[in-house]
Structure 1
Amino acid sequence: MESLALNDLFGNVYADRQVLVTGHTGFKGSWLCLWLTALGARVTGLALAPDTEPAHWKLLELHNVRDLQVDLRHAHAVRQTLELTKPEIIFHLAAQPLVRRSYHEPFTTFDTNVLGLVNLLEAVRATPSVRALVNATTDKVYLEQATVTGYREDHPLGGHDPYSTSKACAELVTECYRKSFFNNSGPRVATARAGNVIGGGDWSQDRLVPDLVRAASSGSTLQIRNPEAIRPWQHVLEPLSGYLRLGQQLLAGKPVEGPWNFGPAADATLPVQALVALMQSHWPQLRSEHRQGPHPHEAGILRLDASKAAQQLGWHPVWDAQATLQSTIQWYRDYYERGRLRSRDNLQTYIEAARTAGLEWAA
């Protein structure tokens, strides 16, 4: 990590800046904290304790991140956190993020993903230091419809399961606050839509890659629910580079408010069974079979059109499907077989690839 001049990334905008990350103990939030601390930011995290064991957040041991165990559903505690830390930019990742869990816990899902967001936005209204907010939602906010090129930001929002619906609501709530309270003054606000994120350090239940990894490490066979379902798979660092680029532009006063898609390289939108086959080529111990029977509804095809981010933010995915899967599988194999944590190596390799590709944020 020390070999990279990371403060030069994203125009040096995050160095010595107060940043709040909600959901920092989760999979994506822990990776974002790793990156932000490498950029020289002064990071505070607001979240519940990790709900998996192992947990990437604990393994990273980021002692320079101020770790506040706060429930987003407790409005007073959220407001106190912002008053205490006085962040200039907030990356909002805290959520109940699992589709299948949302069927079992619909109230908790809506309470966290919608009313928790309202608590945060109300706290932002009362905190003059906040200049920008990036709300990470999901690629599942769109109303299901046939699309060859993928969902664009101007496609209608919708939802079938409680998780998707709660995140579509979160998009509407964010836009409401942006227009009603932050239009002429106050922070600049944008939403970021990405999903099917993979990478080392995810042990969530009912996600394909963590489930496969658990099966491989225990010598069992994973039962696959929907092998023909098509998803836009991307390494966790891909959307995070988009969030950081978006935050950079918001802080610079650029007209980038509103929704943004961050999708993978074209070859990484794959059926589940194709992803499993690629993973098995890197880790032969992975075994799976199709499980017949009724399952909760999931969209058959999900593609994102990220051309807006390419044209207006200069953002592009860095890794193709092979690089994404190789990095992910090697992370887990090193962890289980050698006791080695490759997160910092992955970040360095990703940034070097972005620089080679000539991406503006990596210059």
Structure 2
Amino acid sequence: MFSEQYQGKKILVTGHTGFKGSWLTAWLLKLGAKVCGISDQIPTTPSMFEELGLDQKIEHHFCDIRNFEGVSTILKKFEPDYVFHLAAQPIVSVSYTDPLDTISTNVMGTAVLLEALKQWNQKCNVVVITSDKCYENVEWVWGYKETDHLGGKDIYSGSKGAAEVIIHAYYHSFFTSNKNNIKLATGRAGNVIGGGDWAKDRIVVDCIKNWADEKSVDIRSPKATRPWQHVLEPLSGYLTLGSQLDKNTKLLGESFNFGPKAEQSRTVLELLTDLSNQWDFLSAEDAYRVTDNIPFHEAGLLKLNCDKALFYLNWEANLSYKECVEMVGDWYYSFYKTEKNMYEMTLDQISKYEKLAMERGLVWSQK
């Protein structure tokens, strides 16, 4: 799976020290790729990047994504075959306390990478990752399509919508006939959960941290419904998209949604109940308690229509809701309650994901 496309190839991952960036880096290493990472810091403590020892396995750079000279220098020295751009300010609550940093990181950081690519003269496939929050959420019950209106009621959503507008403008201004060595597309996903996430103000993270200390957790929106997906689902989509950019010109400059199966949608309360079952609580009341403290606007429902990814990429989600929850719970339980090597644990979960996709005959997994 993917080894033909990525084995021995040079892959630049921005935001490689983050949650999704660490999982993507581990998967690329498993595929035999040579990985270079750009990130401004280790974003959390604990850190999946540190726990997996990834700094010893890749070419690792601390560099602010808004630093044009730094990004450009790394790009030209490493000469990647592929770029996956994940560097961002990813936390909605932080966008309220520091809106300017959120906007400059998510919008100008993306523009800096695109400008560095524009001034580079090598062939490269580029997947820029934004978010499902780039859509203006009117809380309808059907999934958002790639052609729906961009924007949002909060700074984070606005920054992701703005990033998509900048990507679209850069593609049509510089990466079509005048710069066709750069093959560019964007990926959108959200409600991503998985082992190794310790970012602030995320419900699964808050629960795991409290449960590890044998404490209950406050939940503020128990009825909020989300289409939860394991981190490997969108990553498989990004890898599929990157691998096909050379082969299909219809993908160039396009955006693609990557989301879970329709049956994945569950309330926060349902998710936490299922996760808590893996932590030996005597009752759900010992695991969490409901509060009404909602400090900022939260959307009630936002899900994606992934028909475009199925039609053009033959991509579809792999895991059931039960499998997703089990993988999340198993990773964290192993981290907090066992002496397992977490790099090996992570590779084992990737192998399990790959095996399930191939056994189920998912087209993207056969290539």
Same fold at TM > 0.5:
yes
Give the corresponding residue for 2:32. Answer: 40
Q: In structure 2, do the counterparts of structure 1 residues 203 and 293 end up closer, same or farther at CA, with 3 Å as the change threshold?
A: closer
Alpha-carbon distance between aligned partners in 1 of 2:293 and 2:49, rounded to the nearest angstrom = 36
- 1:140-219 → structure 2 map (5 Å cutoff): 140-184=133-177, 185-219=180-214
Alpha-carbon distance between aligned partners in 2 of 1:81 and 1:101, rounded to the nearest angstrom = 28
Report SS of the residue matched to 2:2: helix
Alpha-carbon distance between aligned partners in 2 of 1:232 and 1:55, rounded to the nearest angstrom = 25
1:235 partnered with 2:230: yes
Give the corresponding residue for 1:3. Answer: none
> What is the total number of aligned residue pairs between the two structures?
355
Give the corresponding residue for 1:59. Answer: 51
Is contact 1:86–1:127 with CA below 8 Å preserved after alignment? no
Q: Which runs of at least 4 in structure 1 moved beyond 6 Å after TM superposition?
A: none
Deviation of the 1:199 alpha carbon: 0.7
Is contact 1:24–1:47 with CA below 8 Å preserved after alignment? yes
Report SS of the residue matched to 1:255: helix
Which one of 240, 264, 267 corresponds to residue 263 of structure 2?
Answer: 267
Deviation of the 1:279 alpha carbon: 1.2
Is contact 1:225–1:295 with CA below 8 Å preserved after alignment? no
Give, as a single letter, the amino acid of the residue that structure 2 aligns with 1:98.
I
Deviation of the 1:130 alpha carbon: 4.1
Report the TM-score, using the length of structure 2 for normalisation: 0.94
**Between 247-256 and 324-333, the greater mean CA deviation after superposition:** 247-256
Which one of 7, 10, 15 corresponds to residue 23 of structure 1?
Answer: 15
1:344 partnered with 2:339: no
Which one of 94, 113, 117 corresponds to residue 120 of structure 1?
Answer: 113
Give the corresponding residue for 1:6. Answer: none
Report the TM-score, using the length of structure 1 for normalisation: 0.95
Alpha-carbon distance between aligned partners in 2 of 1:47 and 1:11, rounded to the nearest angstrom = 25
**Between 255-264 and 291-300, the greater mean CA deviation after superposition:** 291-300
Over aligned residues, Cα RMSD in angstroms?
1.3
Which one of 81, 93, 103 corresponds to residue 100 of structure 1?
Answer: 93
Alpha-carbon distance between aligned partners in 1 of 2:248 and 2:13, rounded to the nearest angstrom = 21
Give, as a single letter, the amino acid of the residue that structure 1 aligns with 2:273.
A
Alpha-carbon distance between aligned partners in 2 of 1:42 and 1:69, rounded to the nearest angstrom = 18
Give the corresponding residue for 2:357. Answer: 354
Give the corresponding residue for 1:324. Answer: 324
Alpha-carbon distance between aligned partners in 1 of 2:58 and 2:247, rounded to the nearest angstrom = 24
Structure 1 residue runs of 5 or longer lacking an equivalent are: 1-8
Is contact 1:10–1:244 with CA below 8 Å preserved after alignment? yes
Deviation of the 1:149 alpha carbon: 2.3
Alpha-carbon distance between aligned partners in 2 of 1:274 and 1:39, rounded to the nearest angstrom = 35
Give, as a single letter, the amino acid of the residue that structure 2 aligns with 1:276.
L
Deviation of the 1:294 alpha carbon: 4.2
Deviation of the 1:284 alpha carbon: 3.7
Which one of 77, 80, 89 corresponds to residue 84 of structure 1?
Answer: 77
Structure 2 residue runs of 5 or longer lacking an equivalent are: none
Alpha-carbon distance between aligned partners in 1 of 2:156 and 2:139, rounded to the nearest angstrom = 21
Alpha-carbon distance between aligned partners in 2 of 1:130 and 1:289, rounded to the nearest angstrom = 53
Report SS of the residue matched to 2:84: strand
